[in-house]
Amino acid sequence: MSDRQKVELEYILKTSPKILYNMISTPSGLSEWFADDVNIRNNTMTFFWEGSQEKAKVLSKVKDQYVKYQWEKDEGESVFFELRIKIDAITREVALLITDFPEDGDDEDDVADLWESQVEDLRRVLGA
């Protein structure tokens, strides 16, 4: 059992839920903002960054709502990272909710900075 602390972040994005879901759930979408390249095989995503790679299993997903991944190195642990779409009932604003369990020793601010950088790339790709 992991004692890693859960981090939850929320980012408002000017896009539709369908477009955002494509960006968080498909290799082509993820390779535009999250990694240099992404492949999928047997429900496992392989993410490539500047000569390194990491694999993550798709634990669950619901179309136009969320995708939950678990890094291969965390298999057997109760940790994951989830990308969830939230639509405000009144304003209709679309938000990306990120749940992550950073590695032991990683500062919560560092994790938030990393995700902020990734989401800025997503905003740029979306033109938002």
25 falls within a domain: yes
Tally the domains of the chain: 1
Looking up residue 88, the CATH number of its domain turns out to be 3.30.530.20
- Structural domain including 102 reads 7-126
**Is 85 a domain residue?**
yes
Tell me how far apart the 2 most distant CA atoms of the chain are, in Å.
Answer: 44
Read off the pLDDT of residues 16-55 as tens digits, 9 standing for 90 and up. Answer: 999 999 999 999 999 999 999 999 999 999 999 998 999 9
Confidence of residue 67 (pLDDT cuts 50, 70, 90): very high
Mean pLDDT for the chain?
Answer: 93
- Residue closest to 65 by CA, chosen among 20, 128, 29: 20
Question: Three-class SS of residue 126?
Answer: helix
Q: How high is the pLDDT of residue 105?
A: 67
Break the chain down into helix, strand, coil percent, rounded to 5: 30, 40, 30
